[in-house]
Structure 1
Amino acid sequence: MTNHGHPDRRSLLLGAGALGAAQLLPSSAIAQTPKRGGAFRVGISDFATSDSLDPTLVETQFSQHLQWQLRNNLVEAGPGGKLVPELAESWEGSKDAKTWTFKLRKGVTFHDGKSLTPADVVHSFNTHRRDGSKSMTKPILAQIATVKADGPDTVVFELIDGNVGFPALTSSVGLVIIPDGDTDYRRGMGTGGYILEQFEPGVRSRVKRNPNYWKAGRGNFDTVEMICIKDATARANALLTGQLDAYNAVDPRTVALLERNAAVRINRVKSKAHFAFPMMVDQAPFASNDVRLAMKYAIDREEIVKRVLGGFGSPGNDHPLSAAYEFYDGSIPQRAYDPDKAKFHLAKAGEASLRVQLHVSETPFSGATDAAVLFKAHAAKAGITVDVVKEPEDGYWSSVWNKRPLCTSRWSGRINDDVLLTLGYSETGTKAGWNETRINSPRLNTIVAEARKEFDTGKRRALYSEAQRIIHDDGGSNIFAFADFLDATSRKLAFGELAGDWMLDGCRASERWWFA
């Protein structure tokens, strides 16, 4: 059985359905049993007109919500990072963690009545792995040598090298299971709690409850409508006037006002999310580590957390692991605002002053523009001129992020340390299009690969500690804040323990919540 506190070798290799079944219902469900019924209307801030139902192209939180309304994974990432059996009722790894065997849940059907089979799982993973795939998950799945059906209810993954956390990887939103042979993703075909009725990218979506959903106590609403609303004030007004039942990304400056309304609940969740101004280390002027250090010392993190986040968060420290991650190293000294030290590093780089463009949008997080303006004021005292360039909201993730040498970024949580570091900071992440700073450290690549297959917790901790220090000292991640998630809901809604990997209960509010 999986021990989520301090997993030993055996628990890392085993995942069983008995514990997982008990966790399918929230553990603190406000002393209520889930009820069916009602139309759930939710406002989403992160969306794009290019959103689609293609599981290989999931870029926004709107897309994540929709995927998990319609489809399921082999494994679900539950609140607190617990791995919950989903379409796989159990799994087991070999002693070297190279072979992983998943037993599929019986009696599960797709929306059209077709039964779930191992062939569906094989097809779903190979959709990402195939030649010509544009999936951002494809490089992560390069670790898979083969994925094959083994009988009527078993799927076997053979990996090129060991990965003790492979089951966690299967919980990624892009790895939802679709029917064997399915290429018409517009149908939204899946095994999930809802069936697609309407989808207008960048505008709205509507789904209806799947009457044959296999999860007891889940997928409770009759219908779910998601509405794309970029402006935080507009989302708040829609909730206050009864046009919405919930919305994500509450502006921290409005929390006190909203809390005065007896019909509104503010959900504050300690999350793994971080906000950053990433610098591309392969682009001038950030190819110089002294310039990067100057930028890092030229930002007052405390003031941004206080004034932009309203205190709903904590200062970042230029590496991506917060205290919510198992292998977070709290011994790394906190980098503080120090204009003189910033000037020192500029001088070492041969620069008396510096002028940079910071590309910003409210798409990554509410208040991003204000954070950029504050950074501009902070940096000026260090001889750095920051020109804040306001970018359009629509298409920010595809046209600005990972395209500009200096921009605004938000990272939500990942299921474990390995997935985050692999995606964001390794050569695999570069190939996947996730390495926003272009950091290319051979030692860091080696650490990530070694830690992935290391069973000994102490050795893994030492490896991940070194990784954090490399990113902190040499990387381009100017991570200024770890942010709490702030969602607003009607008090008519009920739910249990809230997940902290993504907003609105890990982007699974539609499945996990109900009307009281």
Structure 2
Amino acid sequence: MTLSTNRRTLLQSAAAFGTLGVLGLRGQPLKAQTTPQQGGTFRLAINDFDSGETLDPQVNESKFMQNLQYQIRNALIEVGPGGVMVPELATEWSSNADSTIWTFKLREGVEFSNGQPFTAEDAVFSLNLHRGEQSISVIKSLMAGVTDIQATGPHEMTITLSGPNSGFPAVLTMAATVIVPANTTNFDEGIGTGGYILESYEPGVRARVVKNPNYWKEGRAHFDAVETLAIRDVNARTTALRTGEVDAMNAVDATTAQLIQAMPGIDLIQVQGKMHYCFSMNTAETPYQDPDVRLAMKLAIDREDMVSKILGGFGSVANDQPISSAYPYHNPNLPQHSYDPEQARALMQRAGFADHRHVLHVSETPFAGAVDAAQLFSQHAAAAGINIEVAREPEDGYWSNIWGKTPFFASRWSGRANEDLMLTQAYSRESLGSWNATHWDNDAFNTALIAARGEQDEERRRELYWECQRLIYEDGGMIAPIWADILDAKSSNIATGEEIASDWDMDGNRASERWWFAA
């Protein structure tokens, strides 16, 4: 396998740093200072962005936009390290006996950056953006079960659901649910309650925010300013970090991670969590409508080889299921899909597609090394007589023009706060036409998923979520060969908390609020 130009260049440029250190299984330990320091401008390089993005919460998809939204706005609930849900603009929440009515107590004494006080009306307006036929929200499917949202007090909100959902509060952790002032029409003004105030934003290029002097959250938002830079190329991000042009970067290339660790004054951050790299088949299109074809493709990939060559060991073998062992209801009992070229060949022949040309659409946008991974998959599949042609697509617009729009494409899924969010957003009937990129519609899966939401018995809920994973593993359109460790890097003069969040990279996309310059 040939390394891409970017990887080869980085290997050459890093050679001058001498002998490589060896990372432990959990990467380099990070120690927090006792007292966070205030001040300085934090410069953050992000790989995932789009030149057509806006600050409308309905259409937040990229990591650049999630980082920026969390800089200037807050959600009702925050996901902390370990996946624990932490009160943010909501201070507490509770439901009735069957989890169909949820009441949220909201934080008092909070102001938006324009001086307007935060009330329940703002929360109601913000959540209603994601409901109704006219909504263009990326989480519209997750809000489909909401039948009513009411301000039941100046700082109290009540949400009524069409059916039981014991995990509903997790929806309100998502970046799309950040709170804006009621009746906002120009979202690009960036008005919010966050730790920073928007100074400038150029889509697909950069954003700059400055410290909010009236921020309500104690012990957060330590920098005087934050500059978020859109830098797609991993080599360019790495060079910017090495030369001091930026202070942190996301999405380190796993095959060069040890080289980065060896660079003086740079820390590699490794977090094991929920992220999986995958190749997705549109099950509504030929030939991927055929379950034999889908299974053949799952057996035509050498997962151990992927972990070694694409992740450089910074990850583990996955099994075509989206729920990792980091989730409470991970199903550990599914027989491992292993590389079996002969069985893959037989299945493809039985389906009548032995001579089919599979065009795999890919760019580096889904994950660092995606192009190399696609080429490696093509080599694996060739041994089964399966012809995979790799089509490299433009980076800009990949999520909007390629992902979910072509029959066969590279993808990546980061973590969600709970199993229901992950399964609903990516695989349910409710998400067809939005985030269900494989267009998979399975009656048994949808029945089990809905039942799991309202199930009060712990053991029965576990069985239902296990069944959901089994159905995806056996019948779904996702080929998930590897669990990928989250790999970020930062200057050694940046301090962090003792734990780093594992749901997304850059400390849950909240590094700007949680980190600080060391004294």
TM superposition score normalised by structure 1: 0.93
Cα distance in 1 for residues equivalent to 2:206 and 2:268 = 23
Which residue number corresponds to residue 20 of structure 1? none
Give the Å deviation of 1:358.
Answer: 0.3
Which residue number corresponds to residue 182 of structure 1? 184
- Report the RMSD for the aligned CA atoms in angstroms: 1.0
Which residue number corresponds to residue 282 of structure 2? 280
Which amino acid is the alignment partner of residue 270 of structure 1? Q
Cα distance in 1 for residues equivalent to 2:130 and 2:144 = 10
The alignment status of 1:46 with 2:52, answered yes or no, reads: no
The alignment status of 1:486 with 2:487, answered yes or no, reads: yes
Give the Å deviation of 1:130.
Answer: 4.1
SS at match of 2:130: helix
Aligned pairs (5 A) from 1:188-267: 188-267=190-269
Give the Å deviation of 1:229.
Answer: 0.6
Give the Å deviation of 1:477.
Answer: 0.7
Contact 1:140 1:423 in 2 (8 A): yes
Deviations 1:233-274 (A, max 9, x none): 110110110101000001122222222223000000002111
Which amino acid is the alignment partner of residue 210 of structure 2? K
Which residue number corresponds to residue 448 of structure 1? 449
Which residue number corresponds to residue 58 of structure 2? 56
Cα distance in 2 for residues equivalent to 1:128 and 1:331 = 37
SS at match of 1:66: helix
Cα distance in 1 for residues equivalent to 2:132 and 2:467 = 35
Which residue number corresponds to residue 301 of structure 1? 303
Deviations 1:118-163 (A, max 9, x none): 1001110112214412112122212111111112211111111111
Give the Å deviation of 1:462.
Answer: 0.4
Which residue number corresponds to residue 148 of structure 1? 150
Cα distance in 2 for residues equivalent to 1:299 and 1:514 = 42
The alignment status of 1:412 with 2:414, answered yes or no, reads: yes
Deviations 1:259-305 (A, max 9, x none): 22230000000021111110011100111111111111100111011
Which residue number corresponds to residue 8 of structure 1? none
The alignment status of 1:70 with 2:65, answered yes or no, reads: no
Which residue number corresponds to residue 168 of structure 1? 170
* Gaps in structure 2 of 5+ consecutive residues: 1-29
Cα distance in 2 for residues equivalent to 1:95 and 1:293 = 42
SS at match of 2:143: helix
Contact 1:499 1:506 in 2 (8 A): yes
The alignment status of 1:37 with 2:39, answered yes or no, reads: yes
Which residue number corresponds to residue 6 of structure 1? none
Contact 1:72 1:177 in 2 (8 A): yes
Deviations 1:195-233 (A, max 9, x none): 000100000000001000001110111000011111101
SS at match of 2:304: helix
SS at match of 1:148: strand
Aligned pairs (5 A) from 1:371-390: 371-390=373-392
Contact 1:361 1:390 in 2 (8 A): yes
Give the Å deviation of 1:351.
Answer: 3.5
Residue 429 of structure 1, aligned match among 408, 426, 431? 431
Cα distance in 2 for residues equivalent to 1:39 and 1:321 = 37
Residue 272 of structure 2, aligned match among 270, 279, 292? 270
Deviations 1:137-190 (A, max 9, x none): 122212111111112211111111111011111111101111011111011011
Give the Å deviation of 1:31.
Answer: 4.0
The alignment status of 1:323 with 2:311, answered yes or no, reads: no
Give the Å deviation of 1:345.
Answer: 0.7
Are residues 29 and 457 of structure 1, via their aligned partners in 2, closer, same or farther at CA, if it must alter by over 3 Å?
Answer: farther
Contact 1:354 1:383 in 2 (8 A): no
Give the Å deviation of 1:463.
Answer: 0.4
SS at match of 1:278: strand
Which amino acid is the alignment partner of residue 222 of structure 2? N
Cα distance in 1 for residues equivalent to 2:88 and 2:445 = 33
Which residue number corresponds to residue 312 of structure 1? 314
Give the Å deviation of 1:456.
Answer: 1.4
Which amino acid is the alignment partner of residue 421 of structure 2? V
Give the Å deviation of 1:88.
Answer: 0.8
Give the Å deviation of 1:355.
Answer: 1.7
* Gaps in structure 1 of 5+ consecutive residues: 1-27
Cα distance in 1 for residues equivalent to 2:350 and 2:133 = 46
Equivalent pairs, count: 488
SS at match of 2:232: coil
Cα distance in 2 for residues equivalent to 1:132 and 1:29 = 47
Which amino acid is the alignment partner of residue 483 of structure 2? F
Moved over 4 A (4+): none
Which amino acid is the alignment partner of residue 262 of structure 1? P
Give the Å deviation of 1:344.
Answer: 1.5
Which amino acid is the alignment partner of residue 447 of structure 2? T
Cα distance in 2 for residues equivalent to 1:76 and 1:358 = 36
Which residue number corresponds to residue 359 of structure 1? 361
TM superposition score normalised by structure 2: 0.93
Which residue number corresponds to residue 469 of structure 2? 468
Residue 113 of structure 2, aligned match among 99, 111, 114? 111
Give the Å deviation of 1:343.
Answer: 1.0
Contact 2:287 2:353 in 1 (8 A): no
Residue 289 of structure 1, aligned match among 275, 282, 291? 291
SS at match of 1:410: strand
Which amino acid is the alignment partner of residue 286 of structure 2? A
Which amino acid is the alignment partner of residue 189 of structure 1? I
Which residue number corresponds to residue 343 of structure 2? 341
Cα distance in 1 for residues equivalent to 2:211 and 2:331 = 44
SS at match of 1:408: strand
SS at match of 2:163: coil
